Amino acid sequence: MRDAYHEELDSIGDSLVEMARLVGSAIGRATTAMLDADLQLAENVIAADEKVDTLQRELETKAINLLARQQPVATDLRIVVTSLRMSADLERSGDLAQHVAKVARLRYPDSAVPRDLHATILEMGQLAQRLMAKTAEILITKDVDLALQLEQDDDAIDLLHRTLFQHLMDDRWKHGIETAVDVTLLGRYYERFADHAVSVARRIVYLVTGDYADEVDPAAAAGGVAEGITEGTQPENA
């Protein structure tokens, strides 16, 4: 009985790693699809999100069965409950990658992103993908130090996000409203994606260290986002 139990617990962990792998790949592909205006790649990302959703549903069923049949307590109970939360973060990251791909599809055969912002968006996409790759690694290794590093990567994304907004607010912006709207939403998608990766990492830190102070609810992370953006555009009002 005890063996089947640990197998089930491992299987939940494996699903989380696989979800992180899939959504990390998705955000990278979505970014490429957008910058290259590659319709097929965009469609590919959009369709592939189904797999992430399926994994989440399966994970949820496994977790509930495990709670019902094995009735874990203490640490194991926290692992199961936290896994449910992490799977929701990862599933939502998948949606955000899909949103990026949908913007790419919508603007095809054009690129949704003007040339002078390609490098910024590329860097956001790369950072987001790297954050998620590290999150997958942390899910496997439970490496707390690596989890803390993630915060710096997240700061780097916030900074890029602010750059993007300064660009938008610049009087010399010449790409019109439609592109401004696209870029506003894209910036938000990348930053929310990163928030979810960081949220997963923080939950692992909490599981490992049991330190509540390190566990930041997604609320706090998200609050920083919108605040960061808008205040970045008018520092005197910050």
**Can you give the binding site for a second copy, defined by CB under 8 A?**
49, 53, 56-57, 63-64, 67-68, 71, 73-74, 77-78, 81, 84-85, 88, 91-92, 94-95, 98-99, 102-103, 105-108, 165, 168-169, 173, 177-178, 180-182, 184-185, 188-189, 217-220, 222-223, 226-227, 229-231, 233-234, 237
The two three-digit tokens of residue 109, written as one number = 């055969």
Residue with smaller CB distance to a second copy, 5 or 173: 173
Cβ proximity to a second copy: between 91 and 153 the closer is: 91
Residue listed under structure tokens 């994994």 = 55
CB nearer to a second copy: pick between 140 and 169: 169
Smallest gap from residue 143 Cβ to a second copy (A): 25
Q: Smaller CB distance to a second copy: residue 155 or 178? A: 178
**Measured from the CB of residue 43, what is the shortest distance to a second copy in angstroms?**
13
Least gap, CB of 233 to a second copy (angstroms): 7
Q: Based on CB atoms, which residue is closest to a second copy, 25 or 184?
A: 184
Q: Nearer to a second copy by C-beta: 140 or 181?
A: 181
Minimum CB separation of residue 149 from a second copy in Å reads 25
Q: In terms of CB distance, is 189 or 190 closer to a second copy?
A: 189
Distance separating alpha carbons of residues 187 and 142, to the nearest angstrom: 30
Give the separation between CA 110 and CA 34, rounded to whole angstroms.
9
Least separation in angstroms between residue 152's CB and a second copy is 23
Q: Write down the least CB distance from residue 55 to a second copy, Å.
A: 11
Distance CA 117, CA 166 (A): 12
CB of 209 to a second copy, least distance (A): 17
> Residues 2, 70: contact at Cβ < 8 Å?
no
